[in-house]
Amino acid sequence: MPDAPLPTDAHVVVLSGAGLSAASGVPTFRDAHGLWEGHRVEDVATPDAWARDPELVRRFYDLRRVACAEVDPNPGHAALARLQRALGPERCALITQNIDGLLGRAGAVDVVEMHGSLWRLQCEADVDHPRVPVVGAQRRDARCEACGAALRPDVVWFGEMPYDLDRIERVVTGCDVFVSVGTSGVVYPAAGLVSVARSVGARCVEINPHPSGGRFDEVRAEPSEVALPALVDAWLADR
């Protein structure tokens, strides 16, 4: 079963986390003590930190953005983009917790970036105001076109609600195969989504060199840049 081609009408959902981008060398900005410039990352990526010291928060994301521009998608990203091209985006939903944009750079479309993106800014006053693309460091005088408020990274911080939860619930409810890649299957949101997928009878696959112990039908204890190209080859063998 694991290596059987995918039925032509199957709906696939792939949830990816940090493990998908690990082989690209995306820097974590944590020193040996888990700190960035003396701060816990969890204390920089918060609405409170933004209110207290926006310059610190901007600098943190500027550094991450500049560093991410230096890395490339890896074979795991490419395999997911290839799967999506073969099935069509309506039958292959790619949901990611990563903010690095690497799935898009690999050719994936309509990626659900549930934690936002390094490559966009948003109005700090109104989430419905237009997003602003950004490359390199954020211009300090950049303002929201709609209302003139300051622009903040379009990234979901600790204590904020992930994006597109309704859409995510909808696609997972409609899927036949749910794949969790490089993210813990026992921690929110992966654990909750696996439960939803199981409840609709979907086959649940985990790809993680350190399996989470979550409730999956199939576990591949390999890095995603190894497991995903092989899995996608097998799934698309007859096409």
What residues are annotated to the active site?
A: 115
Phi then psi dihedrals of residue 212, to 5 deg: -80, -15
- 85 or 129: CB nearest Zn ion: 129
The answer to whether residues 145 and 125 touch, using CB atoms and an 8 Å cutoff, is no
Instruction: Round to whole Å and give the CA distance between 191 and 10.
Output: 22
Please, which residue, 121 or 197, has the CB nearer to Zn ion?
Answer: 121
Query: For residues 34 and 70, what is the distance between their CA atoms, to the nearest angstrom?
Result: 22
Q: Which is nearer to Zn ion, 142 or 186 (CB)?
A: 142
CB of 112 to Zn ion, least distance (A): 24
Token reading at 218: 């199939």
CB of 149 to Zn ion, least distance (A): 4
- Among residues 123 and 232, whose Cβ is nearest to Zn ion? 123
Q: Cβ of residue 150: shortest distance to Zn ion, in angstroms?
A: 9
**Which strand ranges, in their side-by-side order, compose the sheet holding 12-16?**
112-113, 92-96, 12-16, 177-181, 203-207, 218-220
Which of these, 65, 56, 42, 53, lies nearest to 157 by C-alpha position? Answer: 42
What are the residues binding Zn ion (CB under 5 A)? 123, 125-126, 129, 144, 146-147, 149
